[in-house]
Structure 1
Amino acid sequence: MTSIGQRMISSGAASATSLVTRVAEQLLLIPVLLAAWSVELFGEYLLIAAIPTYIALSDLGVVQSGSNELARRAGEGDEEGAHRFFRDLVVTFLRWSLLLLVVLAAVVMAVPLADWLGLRQISSAEAKWTFGLLAAAAIISQNSLALLGGMRARRIMPAGLWTRAIGTILRLAATFIAVKFFDTGPVAIGAIMLASRIGEYAAQSVILRRADFAATLNLFARRSQKLGRYVASGLEYLMFDLAKALLLQGAVIIIGLTLGAVAVAVFSTHRTLARAVSQIVQTALVPLQAEAGLMGGASQRTGLARLVIATTRLAVWTCLAVALALFVAGPAIFELWTGGKIAFAPELYGLLVGAVLFEAVWMLTAQARMGTNRHRPIAWSFLAVAACAVAGMSASVTLVTAAAVLLVAEIVMCLVAIPLTVSLLDMRVGAYLRAILRFPSEELRFLKNRLLPSGH
């Protein structure tokens, strides 16, 4: 478990860095562009960028599903089979992506995009070029995730995550320089986005080639096997995103329609503070899912069970500590963050952070299934629970009841996902719960020994 633990630490650090840089890009891009552009020009750019942003989901989950199958083959020692499958996955997805890009380009060129979006600051030609560049960047980004699956199989995934993190930093820096010193517009920003994504893809390709796991870019290469069943499996991965959208965005819409915009502001700020705790979980999910795919065989169930328990225990206790710290600092945070316009509501925050903690438990546990393409029952259950939660919120809404419904939904998912998953780990539910609730003293010692130099 030492080598696995070291990989988990390395992947976790890379995942955390990648997550931080993505969040920083989202937050810093706003003041960077607003400092150089008018509010109206910035708003029109966001309108054009909205659809390319959703294209990031256009792989229909095939990359995730294919990556899990790739990890399974690699974990079983089938190097030739893994490499062959990887080549097929990369080429197939690249073909599909190019087809999508051609279709989008044809549609955009044929329609009056600027008129449809009501653009005044951006000309029709600029709007079409900006849309095309941003769409191409989003599609190449999705293809780089396929390469990340190959790195996962070769146990070098941190290198891929670091590549994407560095690409994000360079992209933000290039954007700042372009608008600050060269007075560039939306088309140039689209070009920067595309160039950075191409750079990330090229860097990952070089790393894979050096790891003797190169992917062919020959679009006419013949496939050695069919990938159709991974499309269906991939679609079910999208149910998780749909269920989350129902729970999170559905709550905001219902509150807005029934209680008004002020209530939305109060609810959203408290939920944002509570969701900040979940970033810890996101840092652990990526490496845990990667290792689960490599340890999916029956002979490795004991090791996988230990890994899931250790990761879940450490992440949940860390989340709890951070949540308590934010609870204590909540009034001061809200005073500074909102300028005193929104008061901290302890009861509302407590319910929302409780939902985050229960979500952490079942999501981390479920990685034993999600990392091995056995996610179907959990995916359908989550979608059903989310739909019922939205219906429940619609019946009677206050801020507290909306938060309480979210909490109940995550508790129900624990009751569903944990029994479904621990059966694969040859454990009983009671034993598993006792294990993850124990204070992670062993895990903390392991981290201390790996992160701190000897003698410190």
Structure 2
Amino acid sequence: MTIVANIFRSSVANAIGIGISAFVQLVSVPVLASAWGPEVYGTWLMLTTIPTYLALTDLGFVQAATSDMTMKSAKGEKQAIVQIFSSVFALFVAFAVIVNVVVAAAVRIAVLADVGWVTDYQLYLHMLAFYSSLTLLSRVNLAGFRANGMYAAGTVSYDTLVLCEGLLTLLVVTLHGGFAAAISTMIVGRLLNMLLLYALLRRRLPWLSYDMEAVSWAELKRLFKPAVGGMAIPVSLSFTLQGTVVLVGAVISPAAAAIFTPVRTISRIAIQLVGIVNRATMPEIAHTLAKGDRRKISQLVLLNCALAVFVLVPAGIVFGFFGDRIVSAWTRGIIQPDRIFVAAMAVSMVLHGGWYLVSNMLLATNSHGDFSKIMILSAPLTVVLVYIGASIGELTGVALATIACEAFCVAGALFALRRTPFNPAYERMASKKDNLGR
């Protein structure tokens, strides 16, 4: 199958996934806000940042393993793939145990110290920590599909199961379920996701399984550097996306968090749209780089540049002018954001989408080392600027702070791209360096 056909199939699968995610997000905001009210819904948004934070315990191993398995798949190295697949799963089981123990200890200490907020929500914190563990483990199955030429099948199957999980959770809430009932539904849904996806993977690839005898700490050690480097990107995203919600809720109010989140959700639709094709190019980039096909790599880079120019920028303009009315109509008038705040969020969206495209290209080939260092710097910068923005200018101040942070990331991404195999001059510089070394 040609690269164009592979990208098309994977893009269709991503489109289905984006549609599912957007549908759940679009439905969940009015359903949850109506069922629980803005204050309780704002609290839910703050609580459900926990799975995102705890998912960072994968230390970037999912993406690093996927990229490495994809390149080994191009060379037909099945036993090496089984080693990586099994080793990462074993590592995540260990992470899951540690994370839940640490969360349990932290909650207990907070309760003994009479921290009121934690005491009120301690059951939900334990439940969300367990759900986070299942989310982490379920990603390994998806990596197995994507690394072995079944990106479309794995993505559609995974996202369909996530849709069922989301819809069942919303159904429970509409039947007057509280936080405990909603999280319990999420846990059951994720368990079914893991079991069904693994069964499908084994049916399509009988040779790929969780083989504890194949677990290799040497493989994990080899992946450690690109994995930790890759972790900087989701950490930064978490501070930008989830950490901002917590700061807005804590510094301004939970009601402000309930305004901020829907605006950002709508603004990210364009980023998700470009991600449809961008993520579909990732296994092809890894494949072509493993084979050294410079011409095809250049074509894939140009394709991603076109996504930024012809999709992101026009979408930002449309959202900047009409985003406030879109959010108001979507939430049936319950949430009515300020027009200036929405316009600033539109600018932030375009900048975020720009560096997001570049970061995925780097991650696809485990050549993201320099960019990771820049992203580590962006994380504390985001926290400080968002806190200042929220304190001084409330939601508009938050939006302006995110613009500054996203611009910093764009500059860093372009700088990092120059020092990777995507730049033809980089290969010449590396060749000269090798010759000098001899």
TM interval, short-chain normalised: 0.7 to 0.9
- 1:305–1:58: structure 2 CA closer, same or farther, 3 Å change rule? same
Confirm or deny that 1:166 pairs with 2:165. Answer: no
- The corresponding residue for 2:58 is 59
Which residue of 302, 307, 326 maps to 2:295?
Answer: 302
Q: Can you give the 5+ residue segments of structure 2 that lack an aligned partner in the other structure?
A: 427-438
Shift of 1:317: 0.9
Which residue of 140, 143, 147 maps to 2:137?
Answer: 143
- The corresponding residue for 2:430 is none
Q: How does 1:269-348 map to 2 (within 5 A)?
A: 274-297=267-290, 299-327=292-320, 329-330=322-323, 332-333=325-326, 336=329, 342=337, 344-345=339-340
Q: How large is the Cα RMSD of the aligned pairs?
A: 4.6
- The corresponding residue for 1:426 is 424
- The corresponding residue for 1:85 is 84
Shift of 1:165: 1.8
**Structure 2 CA distance, aligned partners of 1:102 and 1:387?**
27
- 1:206–1:321: structure 2 CA closer, same or farther, 3 Å change rule? same
SS in 1 for 2:10: helix
CA contact (8 A) 1:60 1:238 kept: yes
CA contact (8 A) 1:301 1:425 kept: no
- 1:26–1:231: structure 2 CA closer, same or farther, 3 Å change rule? farther
Matched residues, number: 418
SS in 1 for 2:56: coil
- The residue type paired with residue 13 of structure 1 is V
- The residue type paired with residue 15 of structure 1 is N
Structure 1, 379-388 or 76-85: larger mean CA deviation:
379-388
Shift of 1:121: 7.8
- The corresponding residue for 1:381 is 374
- The residue type paired with residue 148 of structure 1 is L
Which residue of 211, 227, 242 maps to 2:204?
Answer: 211
SS in 1 for 2:58: coil
Q: TM-score, normalised on structure 1?
A: 0.72
- 1:89–1:392: structure 2 CA closer, same or farther, 3 Å change rule? closer
Q: 1:337-358 deviations in whole A, cap 9, x for unaligned?
A: 6959655349x83x65455445
- The residue type paired with residue 424 of structure 1 is F
**Structure 1 CA distance, aligned partners of 2:250 and 2:183?**
36
Shift of 1:415: 3.9
**Structure 2 CA distance, aligned partners of 1:81 and 1:261?**
49
CA contact (8 A) 1:144 1:200 kept: yes
Structure 1, 109-118 or 144-153: larger mean CA deviation:
109-118
**Structure 2 CA distance, aligned partners of 1:352 and 1:45?**
23
- The corresponding residue for 1:70 is 69
Shift of 1:137: 2.4
**Structure 1 CA distance, aligned partners of 2:371 and 2:230?**
10
- The corresponding residue for 1:439 is none
Structure 1, 69-78 or 322-331: larger mean CA deviation:
322-331
Q: 1:84-128 deviations in whole A, cap 9, x for unaligned?
A: 322222233234324544565577679749964547987xxxx53
Structure 1, 393-402 or 11-20: larger mean CA deviation:
393-402
**Structure 2 CA distance, aligned partners of 1:354 and 1:180?**
36
Which residue of 141, 149, 152 maps to 1:155?
Answer: 149
- The corresponding residue for 2:431 is none
Q: 1:233-254 deviations in whole A, cap 9, x for unaligned?
A: 3222222234445667888999
Q: TM-score, normalised on structure 2?
A: 0.75
- 1:403–1:108: structure 2 CA closer, same or farther, 3 Å change rule? closer
CA contact (8 A) 2:355 2:413 kept: yes
**Structure 2 CA distance, aligned partners of 1:119 and 1:367?**
36
Q: How does 1:353-368 map to 2 (within 5 A)?
A: 353-354=346-347, 356-368=349-361
CA contact (8 A) 1:61 1:235 kept: yes
**Structure 1 CA distance, aligned partners of 2:49 and 2:9?**
34
- 1:329–1:260: structure 2 CA closer, same or farther, 3 Å change rule? same
Q: Can you give the 5+ residue segments of structure 1 that lack an aligned partner in the other structure?
A: 429-456
Q: Radius of gyration: which is bigger?
A: 1
Shift of 1:62: 1.5
CA contact (8 A) 1:134 1:193 kept: no
**Structure 1 CA distance, aligned partners of 2:200 and 2:50?**
31
User: Which structure: greater helix fraction?
Assistant: 2
Q: 1:233-292 deviations in whole A, cap 9, x for unaligned?
A: 322222223444566788899999999999999998876665443222332332222322
**Structure 1 CA distance, aligned partners of 2:253 and 2:134?**
40
